[in-house]
A and B are shown apart, each in its own frame.
Chain A
Amino acid sequence: MTTSELQFDTPADRVVEGPVLQVEDLHVSFPSESGRVQAVRGLSYHVSPGEVLGIVGESGSGKSVSSLAVMGLLPSSARITGSIKFQGRELIGRGDAELSKIRGRRVSMVFQDPLSALTPVYTVGDQIAEAILVHKKGSVSKQGAAKRAVELLDLVGIPNAAERAKAFPHEFSGGMRQRAVIAMAIANDPDLIIADEPTTALDVTVQAQVLQLLETAQEVTGAGIVIITHDLGVVAGFADRLMVMYAGRAVEKGKVDEIYQQPRMPYTLGLLGSIPRLDVSEKQALVPIKGQPPSLTDLPPGCPFAPRCPMVVDACHTAEPPLLDVDGSVEHAAACIRTNEIAATDAEGAEAAVEIFGAEVADEPEVAKIPREQREVVLGLDELVKEYPVTKGVVFKRRVGTVHAVSGISFDVREGETLGLVGESGCGKTTTLMEILGLHKPMGGQISVLGTNVAEVDNKRRFEIRRDMSVVFQDPMASLDPRLTIHDCIAEPMQVHGFSKDEINRRVPELMRLVGLRPEQLSRYPGEFSGGQRQRIGIARALALEPKLVVLDEPVSALDVSIQAGVINLLEELKSKLGLAYLFVAHDLSVVRHIADRVAVMYLGKIIEIGEVDSVFETPRHPYTQALLSAIPIPDPVKERQRERIILTGDLPSPANPPSGCRFRTRCFLHASLPPEKQRQCIEVEPPRERQAEDHEAACHFAQIRQVL
């Protein structure tokens, strides 16, 4: 076999007919201390030219590993068998030198984390030019490649491309870096682009930009695309066909519309039912899939999903069901022995999931029946300001600027309600949170907890207030001390506040049961628990002192969807049972719509829209809220394709130098469409927060309703 066979240099080498990529019975395994991990077990799929295939699954389902196998980028310890045919030529068994001739030229890849995907020591332009030079040495000069790199950067929407090509990766924002990676991926006009969670690490507004860019990339190159994701919303409008993976195998595949409307495998059903929907106003029941994905070292016989499946029968444990065509459908296959029974249910998609998994909506808390105005204010913020100085010099520090992290925000959280605080990263959400948790005199404005102004309290009183307020952090892996047992983790707040030993020993098991964990596990260490269980432990710790207010900082964003649903349900149940008030900080608006009663949207240190959740989501007044909402994909292919998306240009301006007047005007589509005299108002006058409707305020001179869902 000569290397020239893989070069595809002549036009005749390009196979026009047949799939670009054909994977047959792919198996990948890795050695590990507890035996061989069977990461991919008999996977078959194909991608036709110009087609978009979505691969969906939870972490550890083998979706990334199978794509890295196509690229030939798995570590040498991986054992790969089966067949991967690219344009009719077998790739398995080829050496690195041969594969490197196709990589980046015929098949290219976009990775998940754009922050680490670029080499920090070379300029962005050089790295893109390298992608061209490595394949076209001799035919393209260095200058030619550099020029082409600038063109590509321009194509992917980097403003001022010639200048920016000379910048280093750290001078680019996350979204810009992902654009640069996409520029690299399309540099050689490939026939297949594999995008591995290309938007997971990005903000929603940037996610919308990147998805649109991928669509453009496909139009420009005519390539087939494989998009890997755990977010069923992302692929709904973009993919043509879908493949759902579980435990290293495809468990369902078919046309996107069919899978969303008539899923035939309980796991797919569960996934669909576990996503909070942005477009559903009435309280929706979320389907939690109990348990954990199985360990792939030593799978028992039978269906790997059986231990988590609500429809499990004895026959499920005898043999693993093959992926068979669903009756009466073309190209739709599912791996489940009870497919036909699922087909017999009348309900469609997520509703069928609710029926089969038996999910319930938590009751409203008792206190919610009292009108909002009459309930106690648990947390009140009045014109809160936080600024950081920017200094220069080592010995003689001098102030050269100010970062306006939070510039005068006001809201209140009342007993038994949830306020969702949303916005892009860098908008001041976390700073606000830290100011509240610090309980110190703010730089400007006022914070009051349960009617007490925190600026006027002494240390003793501050310590007392802490009993009424607790926090759950984003990363459940990092927020528990790995050297403390679960018992000690949960008991710690009580020890600090001087509870007696007996009281603690009585209360800790009680808290474990409250969050749905078994008290027998109390002597274990955090390392032995999964992400979802650890987050439950974090919640138990937060509830130890019976607080009135719980501050939740992105509590579910680090969890897989099926696990996320369980934690959200738990939070709702606890709120109704204990009458808690939540301040829920999140960037995922779907989750906020599901859990919050009221929502506050932040942009560059200001609240630009606040109000009752349905009112804000259904009749958003501020252009930024409208853009945020329109950027979020809905897990419904039909709706998703019809939606008109507002794409915001550029990134968040630096909070050290916010625009004059309305801070959003630099990215505002409404502002851009206004006549000059009205534009002047945006530039010169900061818009005040004005009442738009019952419990609904927005800060825009030209606020108008625009429905985007």
Chain B
Amino acid sequence: MSEEILKALMQLFALIIKQDGGVEESEKAYVRTFLSKQLSSEYVSQYYFLFEQHAGLGEESSSSPPDAEKLTPVLDSVKVLGICRRINKTLHQNQKIVVLVRLFELVNADRKFTHQRMAIINTVADVFKVPKEETSSIEKFITSTKPSEIDDPLVLILTSQEESQDTTLHQHDPQETGSIVFLHVPSVGLYFFQYTGEQELFLNGLSINNQRIYLFANGSTIKPPRGKPLYTVMWSATFCMKTLIREYP
């Protein structure tokens, strides 16, 4: 990710989560983790400082109560538009979808889905020209408290649990209590997933965290503790089948 885009993202992260009562510890932790996955440790502090500056951290007195009803300042709204226009000129559409996913994930870190914050994210999606139904599916996929129960045409769930909805596929593993939940973003051909269980799963050989959303990029493999690996191409075909079944029952 380029320096320019990372700076823009820090500003965007800050502008979103400073609304409605201010920045929470879990949100700060999300930003740090996000940066540590993009940068070497020496640069993390530099970009995190940028985030703090834009979020106005340390400017307010700790004794002042958070103003939860405050409206989004007009300047913040216009700054968001400016950042999105810069991103529009630099990133491809699939990269913009990844940015949008990270914005939902950021707000999900403390589950503070206030009207002002969500209005900003929805405006970002609008400026990025993300189809509304995809934005809605992304939001549902990330913010649902029970991802394994999402009923959405762009979501598929791989589970060992007894389920009946048509978003569910079964795997036979009596020891597995969690599910792998996949999201398809058809406009850019991307797949994301999250894991709700407690066992150790590997994405391309690296252990995954069940609190995070992962991009399931072309050529990737998910290795469950037991059973066969899952490949991107399988899920691409599975989503196609699901679409066909839905459209031609």
A and B together in one complex: no
Chain B residues near A (Cβ < 8 Å): none
